[in-house]
Chain A
């Protein structure tokens, strides 16, 4: 069972308290009604599904109930870092080559 650091509670908690909520940094268009079919397809249907580093949303549903973002390696399952919802995609990951 993974330990996940909730950036709001500021501590590691067991995976059972969390729920995955899909890929992060996919902003809902502000004028969504005017989106083209292609743009809506990209926004709603297309996901990266990478092997390696993934940016995804998690919710501390059985804790503080906040949504936050996490960087995880899909090969090792390791969480590289977590950060609050609304914060930008980190430019540099901890432990990444300098």
Chain B
């Protein structure tokens, strides 16, 4: 069954290919190729939404991307409920389900419409005036009620199940917009052989040729010519043609972001198709051919469903074969609405009257309209539209006042003129210029290698547009290195032209009136609101915009900005260019988060780094923690053990027998070259020149300001070779820091730096039995205390593979760190594990590592230090070479505040109740009885239960801490104040005898 408003013989869709769909649970039939808008209009449905603030009934204003009103929710399933879809761009597919938004209980009867009656309360700037006080209203009224009442669609509750693709592309000429201008430019550029990309937001190319019934090019109708030309372009190897692709952002150096809607128009997209594809294109030259957008007339109740742009009605008729009404009124201030009246009249629609604000216009379209018997009224205005859920009449009055006449209509087509789409040009940081004669902003000063052609450049007429675009396409290609191609410029046989029009409020909605004449439909901004903003002191258009929210909706003011600007300028008594134009920002139309995120979600959001023993640890039931990008074994629970029990067992076992720990994530840098020692002298506080080959030293690295930046054990493998370790998290920045100094401050030093973090797996074997565990597997290294004392490094073999064997300890026990090439890491670990099992050693994780090092008072940079801690503060003065004359940070250390008394110093804390474990980060006070806010003198940096000590232990930064030994301090917590005693930082084996135990 043919829908009621589908005109037989009109439009380009095949009536045979029907598609059924539903809107607000009612079923309809459309045709493949329809948009949701054209399909609803074919069924006589105009009412599709409620406005943001006043909940006024709304219909379709446009037939394109500029649509402010017809926003719907498209529902595919529970997880696919896309809100705020413009029905004018959503292509119909069989089974499409759409719902209206922002209305309750129903679209036709919406309780929220009470806001329309209360509109004086909600006038311009009401957000700023109303949401101020009382404070309690935020919780009870503003957030839950007013915010809920104003709104658009609802977000889906489930994660987005679709996937989104991304492509980078390069080309010589990128053409944005596939109307007559864009196609002509692409043809010219393509013929030179350079790489061309042509993109258009519509499913089919042609732009305004979709509705311009009068256009003829190369002997064909304009739209047919466009299809032929695009087919020719598609067949060329050097051309990429992208339909359904919107250029949303124009960035520096001709970098353009485009989003291609791959499958939103399909009934069953399937998993293999992405939903959208993000294109990031770098172009040598860009041709902007984005056309122009028709403006509405600003008069009372111009938002009633059925009131729409003249070009939209033509598109619905000429492309989709749909009449937007049976008895249509036309209200215009330029010629282009006449073409709509003519097309509709010829299709059998009654034109009730054309109302033209101009006094005595003349021209061929006016003559043709008159010849068709259409009633034309010059010098008159439509001062109001009647009807509520659908327009029912228009009230006409001479524009300078006089008798009113009410004309019954079921649709009003309006045209105030055309606004060049300078969005992308402006985003490219080009400066627009105001043409006073045509009253429009057009591209003025260019900032990038681009050119605007056709409607977006203010060029009127199809002939002039094609001429300009073809020449621009050829020039851009030539500048980008194209060869001269054969000229095959399309010949325009007939075209349409329109310019001029009006800006601002029409008669009846001018100064002093209070009617609801909408400027911005989506945000419910009326002409009165703009004037009120000026009266309340807004002078800049940027302020007017923010005060009224004009142009701030999802359509970004495509139809409203120029009207708003003109009204503000009139009220300010200034010429338009002096009031300025608001900045155009990306995106041109709304872009989904999905398309920007692409594949970077879930497991692919961030890389995961795993050590060589990860699989082994997982098989042993290890629990992992994230450390930077690394997954590190946190603890190894046995059956029935919680974390506390596992860590206690691991801690005791390491000190009693031994333990294996994967330390591979520590950063490792090889410092090599004749000047390696000199370089180390400059980058670390310690002396290095005299460190013997085969020995190690704990090094501290400062920033130039004197604060601790990193630390780690460094082994000297040869006079010209140091094996440096860094903290896990600090590895990249330490490498950067070293490179920076080497390349820019000390370039005279002959040194090479190589990151070897990933090349060496590191297995720490710690505990009294550590040597016994390792020794059977090692070849070529004498591991006796005499030959290999604490803090030494040897090269040899373990399990037949090369090793750098460090004798060092981060537990205070006799300990070793076995470095082997990462590929052998797991095998060597398993061999060591087998040896360890003979002695009863355990595998331990990062938590036990933390506890054991805290028992010895070994600091962790970034936990016990925070970027304001000096070596002295941390009790590490011994590591600063006193005789050195230079190292990074030497001058910073002598700054007055860094040597002042009372600095926070790292100390140990013991709770008076040994069972109480302090919270890390807890604040410390000297007197718990002082009034709040208390003077805080420090904070807890590390705190653990120590099974080895049989009590809790903690490290803390405390003002003047080392002078407070034995003092009682207090840690106020929500459940009471905890008493602590200041102690030294070493809780186990103060003399350090166990290093050789």
Contacts and interface: CB of A to CB of B under 8 A. Distances in A.
A85 B747 contact: yes
B884 to A, nearest CB: 9
Contacts of B251: 1
A57 B252 contact: no
Interface string B688-712: 0000000000000000110000000
Interface string B234-277: 00000000000000000111010000000000000000000000
A96 interface: no
A93 interface: no
A33 B890 contact: yes
Interface in B742-759: 743-745, 747
A69 to B, nearest CB: 9
Contacts of A18: none
Interface stretch (B142-150, B821-829, B891-899): B891-899
A35 interface: yes
A33 B886 contact: yes
Interface string B601-615: 000000000000000
B740 interface: yes
A67 B280 CA distance: 28
Report whether over half of chain A's contact residues are helix, strand or loop; otherwise say mixed. Answer: loop
B744 A77 contact: no
Given A2-B253, A33-B890, A61-B736, A44 B704 contact: yes
B782 to A, nearest CB: 40
B255 A1 contact: yes
Given A21-B740, A44-B892, 20 more contacts: A1-B251, A1-B253, A1-B255, A2-B253, A3-B253, A3-B282, A27-B745, A33-B885, A33-B886, A33-B890, A33-B894, A40-B891, A59-B736, A65-B739, A66-B743, A67-B743, A67-B744, A78-B252, A86-B744, A86-B747
Contacts of B705: 44
14 contacts: A1-B251, A2-B253, A3-B252, A3-B282, A28-B745, A31-B886, A32-B886, A32-B890, A32-B891, A33-B890, A40-B891, A44-B704, A44-B892, A76-B447
A11 interface: no
A58 B656 CA distance: 52
Contacts of A2: 252-253
A13 to B, nearest CB: 11
Interface in A33-90: 33, 35, 37, 40, 44, 57, 59, 61, 65-67, 76-78, 85-86
Report whether over half of chain B's contact residues are helix, strand or loop; otherwise say mixed. Answer: mixed
Contacts of A61: 736
A31 B705 CA distance: 15
Given A1-B251, A32-B890, A76 B739 contact: no
Contact of A67 (B255, B739, B886, B891): B739
Nearest to A65: B739
Contacts of A77: 252
Contact of B744 (A3, A31, A40, A85): A85
B345 interface: no
B429 interface: yes
A27 B747 CA distance: 12
Nearest to A22: B740
Nearest to A85: B744
Which 6 pairs between the two chains have the least Cβ-Cβ distance?
A: A32-B891, A67-B743, A28-B745, A1-B255, A3-B253, A2-B252
A61 to B, nearest CB: 7
Contacts of B744: 57, 67, 85-86
A85 B743 CA distance: 8
Contacts of B253: 1-3
Chain A: interface size category = 20 to 34
Contacts of B894: 33
A97 to B, nearest CB: 18
Chain B: interface size category = 20 to 34
B790 to A, nearest CB: 33
A35 B747 contact: no
Nearest to B253: A3
B623 to A, nearest CB: 34
Contact of A1 (B252, B429, B890, B891): B252
B449 to A, nearest CB: 12
Contacts of B282: 3
B168 to A, nearest CB: 9
Contacts of B885: 33
Nearest to B255: A1
B252 A37 contact: no
Contacts of B886: 31-33
A83 to B, nearest CB: 13
Contacts of B745: 27-28
A65 B896 CA distance: 37
A2 B448 CA distance: 12
Contact of B891 (A33, A59, A66, A85): A33
Contacts of B890: 32-33
Most interface-central of A2, A32, A76, A78 (chain B CB within 10 A): A32
Nearest to A15: B252
A33 B736 CA distance: 24
A84 to B, nearest CB: 10
A76 B736 CA distance: 28
Contacts of A28: 704, 745
A91 to B, nearest CB: 21
Nearest to A33: B890
Contact of A76 (B429, B743, B895): B429
Contacts of A3: 252-253, 282
Contacts of A78: 252
A3 B743 CA distance: 23
A67 B894 CA distance: 29
A24 B756 CA distance: 30
B271 to A, nearest CB: 30
A65 B892 CA distance: 28
Contacts of A59: 736, 739-740
B281 to A, nearest CB: 11
Contacts of B429: 76
A74 to B, nearest CB: 13
Nearest to B891: A32
Contacts of A35: 891
Most interface-central of B252, B447, B885 (chain A CB within 10 A): B252
A79 B870 CA distance: 39
B74 to A, nearest CB: 32
B276 to A, nearest CB: 20
A2 B429 CA distance: 14
A3 B736 CA distance: 22
Interface in B852-910: 885-886, 890-892, 894-896
B453 to A, nearest CB: 24
Contacts of A37: 895-896
A59 B514 CA distance: 60
B252 A67 contact: no
A61 B739 CA distance: 10
A25 B921 CA distance: 40
B445 to A, nearest CB: 12
A68 B743 CA distance: 9
A1 B586 CA distance: 14
Interface in A1-23: 1-3, 21
A31 B891 CA distance: 9
A43 B716 CA distance: 33
A2 B253 CA distance: 6
B898 to A, nearest CB: 12
